[in-house]
Amino acid sequence: MKRLKTVGQPVIKKDAMALVTGQPVYTDDIAPKDCLVVKVLRSSHANAIVKSVLKEHAIKVPGIEAVYTWEDVPKERFTMAGQTYPEPSPYDRYILDRHVRYVGDPVAIVAGVDENCVDKALALLKTEYEVLPALLDFRKAKDNELLVHPEEDWKALCTVGADNKRNLCASGREEDGQVEAELSDCDVVVEGSYHVKAAQQAMMETFCTFCCIDTYGRLNVVSSTQIVFHVRRILSNALGIPKSKIRVTKPRIGGGFGAKQSVVSEVFPAFVTWMTKKPSKMIFTRAESQTASSPRHEMEVSVKVGADHDGTIRVIDVYTLSNTGAYGEHGPTTVGLSGHKSIPLYGFLKAYRFAYDVVYTNVMSAGAYRGYGATQGIFAVELAVNELAEKLSIDPVSLRLKNMVRQGQAMPAYYGEINTSCALDRCIKRAKEMIGWDEKYPCKDIGNGKVRSVGVAMAMQGSGISGVDVGSATIKLNEDGIYTLSIAAADMGTGCDTILAQMAAECMDCSLDNIIVSGADTDTSPYDSGSYASSTTYVTGGAVEKACGKLMEQIQERACQILSCDREDLEFDGHKAGNIKNGKTVTLEEIGTSSMCGNTVALQATESHSSPVSPPPFMTGMAEIELDKETGHVEIIDYVAVVDCGTVINPNLARVQTEGGIVQGIGMTLYENIQYTKDGTLLNNSLMQYKIPTRLDMGKIHVEFESSYEPSGPFGAKSIGEIVINTPAPAIAHAIANATGIWFKELPITSEKIAMGIVKQ
């Protein structure tokens, strides 16, 4: 087997120096200085009808260009969800709606020459509301007499069980085997409801977009987005203009984590620029990013797990109630992962059931966040399995080794796919060694009211959306022998530009430095669904492989023309081609140069790739904590993670992806606490009130990889982007249960909850 030269190597990111030296690479850095500043007036009520917006005083403020209300925008419903058409998310928005549905919903758009005049104009807008009762409890939303979306022009493009007259964004049910009969026949059944609150992505770069009109009268949109082609379609729908009139590009992105898979900021400056024909920009404040964005879906996941005395898990029953908030972005799709990515972890079930409802309420609408519903479902199922182990007096690691899914098994709860690559058993065995499980499980008293304990969880995710996601790549040979790789996948800091360039370098048998990466641009990049659903390495990587293979054939064809030889007589080592019969050679640079004169062989290839399957990566996480029983304070002492992502393309980037996801998981487990007032106002509107973990909160993190080989993936690779956030919540909750005897089933598990729980024991 050929030894890989570039794939598998821990090479530095291609944009690393620009980022660490503070070069102007982000959206606000490169926005024109004469942009109009765009801001929006936001509703102060959770549910209301805007009776009037008096804007005559605001429009007279010097420097104000325009003030728009619901009366000025197109009346065509659309969704802000960045998904492949037809989007499963319902069309339930206007750019501005007279009916505002959460505290923070846009009421008016103001554009002016600078921030000061816009702020002054916003303060002068006088709005009269007809305040309506608000529906804030998602447990009471289904079939409630209060309707979040009573409008008649609401529509769903896909059959997802949606019904706005029942406050349902989606609803569904699937079952295999005799669930009730199996549950009644089991020796032990663990049952519980697990509540995961909404959580913010809290990326360092907030939502930001600038727009202008180009020489040809087209709307140019530059945005910090994961989904350039979806943004183009969404803006076309919202503005009522042809897609051909819109160009969308993205610069460097200062973090996304799924937040930027929705069109959060783009529509407002796009509308201003289209109306005024002047450049404009919108930069969200941190408060706006906290209160008017697209956080994780709040879910309550009810689980029943049934087993025999010997630890054989026979049946899993999951019902998920998901809160999509005021609008339905990603509501029908996130919920599916709560069952489809948790139940299949156990491969010997006699029966399973998965049902769900996604409901509208009058709180900020949810969206995509790393893990995308799997996080909530895995927290519930894995914690229930840990409680089952306790009831059976079986070590939870042994219980998992007995029941976990294995390579070659069919996975009925995962769309019937075959598990073609799986090192999950090796992952859990290695994690057990790394943390010293046998010596530390379940708990040790270390004196002074403190104990140390450990917890465990497994996870799986996917590699793109099977049969839906499309990745594309264009690669061309330049006259100097250097390649240009054009993609529309968005590097959010994940390093996908580097990873895809590594694949291209491996295919073309050249140095990584000989690959230039460009994108993403709807005018010049080949179509790509975008960077989400853990699809880039697996799906777009497949397109890179195919495009490189095609270009290699073209290069060899051109070399044969130059050397006057047949293909079987040609040797090419990535740098020069030679005629083995007469010894004549031609360099790659000479081939590139020759293609520019009298040539009929296009040294450029574009290929698309989509996969009918989505092979899951697997992971085991184990946490060691120190818990103070007097204060309830939890310190992360050690977190070990062992990941099976197939072939590891870049060990350094895979490691930091894993470490970052674990830290986000620690944050949502222990600190990040969304709180609403009784009138629907979100209290956590800054990073002072919304606590994300710092370096001091992380403890030691140890990451290793147990590679499998996925035959359908590029170089045997699977995804890694999302799975890494899924184990901390159940593993840490398990460790807390081992330390206290209390099974906390709502996130976050704060020190106060722990202390009060211990007092009540």
Q: What is the pLDDT of residues 508-534, one digit of tens each?
A: 999 999 999 998 999 999 999 999 999
Complete DSSP assignment for 330-369: THHHHHHHHHHTTGGGBTT-SEEEEEEEEEE-SS------
The sheet carrying 64-68 orders its strands as 64-68, 106-112, 36-42, 280-283, 208-213, 219-223, 246-249
Side chain identity at 685, as an amino acid letter? N
Query: What mean pLDDT do residues 605-613 have?
Result: 98
pLDDT attached to residue 730 = 98
pLDDT attached to residue 672 = 97
d(CA 226, CA 228): 6
Nearest to 171 by CA among 305, 356, 330: 356
Task: Write the CB contacts of 364 (distance below 8 Å, at least 6 apart in sequence).
Answer: 102, 103, 104, 198, 291, 292, 293, 295, 325, 326, 682
Complete DSSP assignment for 31-83: S-TTPEEEEEEE-SSSSEEEEEEE-HHHHTSTTEEEEE-GGGS----B--B--
pLDDT at 1 over 70: no
What pLDDT digit, counting tens, does each position of 258-295 carry? 999 999 999 999 999 999 999 999 999 999 999 999 99
Work out the pLDDT band at 493, boundaries 50, 70, 90. Answer: confident
What pLDDT digit, counting tens, does each position of 126-150 carry? 999 999 999 999 999 999 999 999 9
User: Which percentage of the chain shows pLDDT scores above 90?
Assistant: 97
- Helices vs strands, H then E, count in the chain: 19, 30
What pLDDT digit, counting tens, does each position of 213-265 carry? 999 999 999 999 999 999 999 999 999 999 999 999 999 999 999 999 999 99
Work out the pLDDT band at 62, boundaries 50, 70, 90. Answer: very high
d(CA 86, CA 699): 44
Left if phi > 0, otherwise alpha if psi is -120 to 50, otherwise beta: which for 715?
A: left
d(CA 444, CA 508): 55
**Cβ atoms of residues 530 and 230 within 8 Å:** yes
pLDDT attached to residue 601 = 87
Instruction: Give the tokens for residue 139.
Output: 């447990």
Which pairs from 594-598 meet CB under 8 Å and 24+ separation?
594/558, 594/562, 595/477, 595/479, 595/558, 596/479
Strand partners, 619: 459, 643
Distances (CA, A) of 590 to 475, 491, 558, 594, 597: 18, 33, 11, 6, 12
Radius of gyration of the chain (CA): 27
HSE-up of residue 290 (Cα within 13 Å, Cβ side): 20
**Cβ atoms of residues 210 and 222 within 8 Å:** yes
Mean pLDDT, the chain, integer: 97
Instruction: Give the tokens for residue 106.
Output: 């846009």
What pLDDT digit, counting tens, does each position of 444-481 carry? 999 999 999 999 999 999 999 999 999 999 999 999 99
pLDDT at 557 over 60: yes
Work out the pLDDT band at 3, boundaries 50, 70, 90. Answer: confident
pLDDT attached to residue 85 = 97
**Cβ atoms of residues 615 and 720 within 8 Å:** no
Work out the pLDDT band at 693, boundaries 50, 70, 90. Answer: very high
